[in-house]
Structure 1
Amino acid sequence: MLHWKSDKWFGIQRLQGVNPVLIKLCTKIPDNLNVDDTMLRPFLETLTIEEAIQSQKLFLVDLGIVEGVPPAPGTQLCAPMGLFYLNKNSELLPVAIQLFQHKGGDNLVFLPSDPPNLWLLAKMFFNNAEVQHHESLTHLGFTHLMMEGVVICSHRHLSVSHPLFRLMAPHFLFLISINVVALQDLIAPGKWVDRVMTVRASGLQEIVKRGLQDWRLDRDGVIPRQVAARGVADPSVLPYYPYRDDACALYSIIERYVRAVLEAAYSQPGSLQADHELQQWRKELTMARQHGGVGMCGVAGDSEQGFTSVDQVVEVVTALVSICSQGHAAANFGQFDEYGFVPNYPPVLYGPVPSSKDAVPSDRDLLNYLPGRFATREIMVITKLLSFRGTRALGDFEVRYIYDPVGSAAADRLRGELRELARQIDRRNATAQFPYKWQSPSVVPNAISV
Structure 2
Amino acid sequence: MVAYKVTVMTGDLLLDGTRDHVFIILYGTEGKSERKKLNEAPELSSGVEKQYNLECPASLGKVIMIGLDKEAYLFLPDDDWFCVMVKVETPENETLHFPCYSWVMERQLLLVREGKAMTRKNDTIPALLEHRLKELEVRKQQYEWKELVEGLPHCLALDNTEALPAEVRYSLDKRMDFLLTAKTTIAELKIKFLANSKKPWGKLEDIAQVFWFNKTKTSDYVRQHWKENEFFGYQLLNGANPMMIQQCQRLPQKFAVTADMVQPFLEGSMLPVELQNGNIFLCDYSRLAEVPTNVINLRPQYIPAPFCLLFKNKEDKLVPIAIQLQQEPGKNNPVFLPSDKEEAWLLAKTHVRAADFIEHQFNFHLLRTHLLAEAFVIATLRHLPSAHPIYKLLIPHMRYTLQINTLGREKLISEKGPINMVYVYALGIVDVFYPTDLEVVSDEELQSWISDIYKHGFLELNSTEIPKAFTSVKEVVKFITMVIFTMTAQHSALSSGQFDFGGWLPNSPNSLQAGVPQSKEQITEADLLLSLPDINTYVWGMAAAWIASKRSGDFVLLSQHREQYFSEPEVLSLTEKLKEELKEISKKIKERNEGKDLPYTYLDPEDIENSITI
- Tell me the TM-score normalized by structure 2: 0.61
CA distance in 2, matches of 1:56, 1:371: 37
Query: Is 2:282 the partner of 1:282?
Result: no
Given the superposition, is the C-alpha separation of residues 152 and 64 from structure 1 closer, same or farther in structure 2, using an over 3 Å criterion?
same
CA distance in 2, matches of 1:402, 1:295: 35
Structure with higher RCO (Cα < 8 A, 6+ apart): 1
CA distance in 2, matches of 1:321, 1:182: 21
TM-superposed deviation, 1:290: 10
- Per-residue CA deviation, residues 58-77 of structure 1 (Å, 9 max, x unaligned), is 00010111112121232221
CA distance in 2, matches of 1:92, 1:315: 32
**Where does 1:32-47 land on structure 2 (aligned, <5 Å)?**
32-47=254-269
Hey, which bits of structure 1, 4+ residues long, moved more than 4 A?
288-291, 293-296
Partner of 2:425: 257
Query: Is 2:328 the partner of 1:102?
Result: yes
Query: Is 2:375 the partner of 1:149?
Result: yes
TM-superposed deviation, 1:275: 1.1
- Normalized per residue, which structure has more helix? 1
Partner of 2:592: 428
Q: 3-state SS of the aligned residue for 1:365? A: helix
- Per-residue CA deviation, residues 188-224 of structure 1 (Å, 9 max, x unaligned), is 23xxxxxxxxxxxxxxxxxxxxxxxxxxxxxxxxxxx
Q: Decide whether the 8 Å contact of 2:376 with 2:453 is kept in 1.
A: yes
CA distance in 1, matches of 2:345, 2:545: 27
TM-superposed deviation, 1:269: 6.9
Partner of 2:284: 62
Query: Is 2:293 the partner of 1:71?
Result: yes
Q: Match of 1:261, as an amino acid? A: I
RMSD of Structure 2 on Structure 1 (CA): 1.8
Percent identity reads 32
Partner of 1:122: 348
- Normalized per residue, which structure has more strand? 2
Query: Is 2:584 the partner of 1:416?
Result: no
- Per-residue CA deviation, residues 363-392 of structure 1 (Å, 9 max, x unaligned), is 233223222332332122111100022221
TM-superposed deviation, 1:53: 0.6
- Per-residue CA deviation, residues 373-429 of structure 1 (Å, 9 max, x unaligned), is 323321221111000222211010142212211110110011000011111111111
TM-superposed deviation, 1:282: 1.7
- Per-residue CA deviation, residues 259-285 of structure 1 (Å, 9 max, x unaligned), is 110001112573222211111112222
Given the superposition, is the C-alpha separation of residues 374 and 68 from structure 1 closer, same or farther in structure 2, using an over 3 Å criterion?
same
Q: 3-state SS of the aligned residue for 2:501? A: helix
CA distance in 2, matches of 1:43, 1:294: 43
Partner of 2:307: 81
Q: Decide whether the 8 Å contact of 1:139 with 1:328 is kept in 2.
A: yes
CA distance in 2, matches of 1:4, 1:161: 52
Partner of 2:159: none
Q: Decide whether the 8 Å contact of 1:286 with 1:296 is kept in 2.
A: no
Aligned pair count reads 386
Provide structure 1 residue ranges, at least 5 long, that are not aligned to the other structure. Answer: 190-247
Q: 3-state SS of the aligned residue for 2:607? A: coil
Q: 3-state SS of the aligned residue for 1:21? A: coil
- Per-residue CA deviation, residues 100-140 of structure 1 (Å, 9 max, x unaligned), is 11111311110000100110000111110111111101100
Q: Decide whether the 8 Å contact of 1:253 with 1:414 is kept in 2.
A: yes
Query: Is 2:400 the partner of 1:174?
Result: yes
Q: Decide whether the 8 Å contact of 1:150 with 1:294 is kept in 2.
A: no
Q: 3-state SS of the aligned residue for 1:442? A: helix
TM-superposed deviation, 1:294: 9.8
Structure number with larger C-alpha Rg? 2
CA distance in 2, matches of 1:399, 1:384: 29
Given the superposition, is the C-alpha separation of residues 289 and 50 from structure 1 closer, same or farther in structure 2, using an over 3 Å criterion?
same
Aligned mate of 1:299, from 466, 469, 485: 466
Q: Decide whether the 8 Å contact of 1:12 with 1:92 is kept in 2.
A: yes
Provide structure 2 residue ranges, at least 5 long, that are not aligned to the other structure. Answer: 1-222
Aligned mate of 2:246, from 9, 19, 24: 24
Q: Decide whether the 8 Å contact of 1:339 with 1:379 is kept in 2.
A: no
TM-superposed deviation, 1:310: 0.9
Q: 3-state SS of the aligned residue for 1:371? A: coil
